[in-house]
């Protein structure tokens, strides 16, 4: 996406322009649509997952689960400067048709990066300690929220679709790197206790027969 923007690929620019135009047309005709997406992206944006991650970090430190705390600090916390560096390198301006005020540059989408890393990092902590039905629901909600945030940023015309795709890709890549470098190694408290070790009975069958 970055290369396409820098090289001004026509097909990518056309897709970006078409998507923004369609969303801008809907937003101009339906102010409630804009207000709803803006509220959704604000309430369930990256800061929401950072607050949840902070609470989990505190709980992990209290319970001496240091690997979980380090994993969340590195993944969720350090994704903020990572996004700022990427934005400064690309230095892409926001769409001129933005329907709400958004600060900073456009590429990549900070919401896409932050939500992707936040959701995946929290799922990495939560999935090992829930049952199979719960895992499926958590995965479904996580994917749905990640996609919805990206759609919302385009609907508000504060990001091009290529900004969002790049944000998803950067967020996922960074999460995988964190998972490999500082894995949380979550221990399931509900796992069954190991079977006690038993030793064979060495008592001789006949008294005084042992040598």
Residues 84-100: tens digit of each pLDDT: 999 999 999 999 999 99
Residue 199 lies in a domain: no
Residue 195 lies in a domain: no
Residue 210 lies in a domain: no
Give the gyration radius of the chain's Cα atoms. 24
Kindly report the number of other CB atoms within 10 A of residue 184's CB atom: 21
Residue 167 lies in a domain: yes
Contacts with 93 (C-beta within 8 Å, 6 or more apart), sequence order: 105, 106
Residue 194 lies in a domain: no
Residue 1 lies in a domain: no
pLDDT per residue as tens, the chain (211 positions): 989 988 989 999 999 999 999 999 999 999 999 999 999 999 999 999 999 999 999 999 999 999 999 999 999 999 999 999 999 999 999 999 999 999 889 999 999 999 999 999 999 999 988 877 788 889 999 999 999 999 999 999 999 999 999 999 999 999 999 999 999 977 655 444 444 444 444 455 555 554 4
Give the residue ranges of DSSP H helices in the chain.
Answer: 2-6, 10-29, 31-43, 46-62, 66-72, 79-90, 110-126, 132-155, 161-181
Determine the structural domain holding residue 145 and report its residue range.
Answer: 8-181
Residue 191 lies in a domain: no
Residue 27 lies in a domain: yes
Return the DSSP state at 205.
S
Contacts with 11 (C-beta within 8 Å, 6 or more apart), sequence order: none
Domain count, the chain: 1
Q: How many residues are there in the chain?
A: 211
């Amino acid at each position: 996406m970055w290369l396409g923007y820098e090289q001004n690929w026509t097909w990518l620019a056309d897709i970006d322009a078409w998507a923004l135009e369609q969303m801008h047309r809907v937003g101009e005709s339906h102010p409630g649509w804009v207000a709803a997406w803006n509220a959704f992206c604000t309430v369930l944006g990256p800061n929401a997952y950072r607050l949840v991650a902070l609470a989990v970090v505190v709980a992990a430190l209290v319970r001496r689960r240091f690997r979980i705390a380090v994993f969340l600090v590195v993944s969720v916390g350090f994704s903020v400067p990572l996004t700022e560096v990427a934005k400064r390198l690309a230095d892409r301006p926001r769409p001129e048709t933005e329907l709400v005020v958004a600060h900073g540059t456009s590429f990549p989408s900070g919401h896409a990066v932050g939500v992707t890393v936040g959701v995946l990092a929290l799922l990495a902590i939560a999935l090992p300690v829930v049952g199979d039905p719960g895992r499926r629901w958590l995965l479904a909600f996580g994917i749905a929220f990640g996609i919805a945030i990206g759609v919302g940023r385009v609907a508000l015309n504060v990001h091009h679709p290529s900004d969002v795709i790049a944000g998803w890709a950067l967020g996922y890549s960074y999460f995988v790197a964190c998972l490999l470098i500082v894995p949380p190694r979550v221990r399931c408290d509900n796992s069954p206790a190991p079977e006690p070790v038993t030793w064979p009975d060495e008592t001789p069958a006949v008294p005084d027969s042992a040598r």
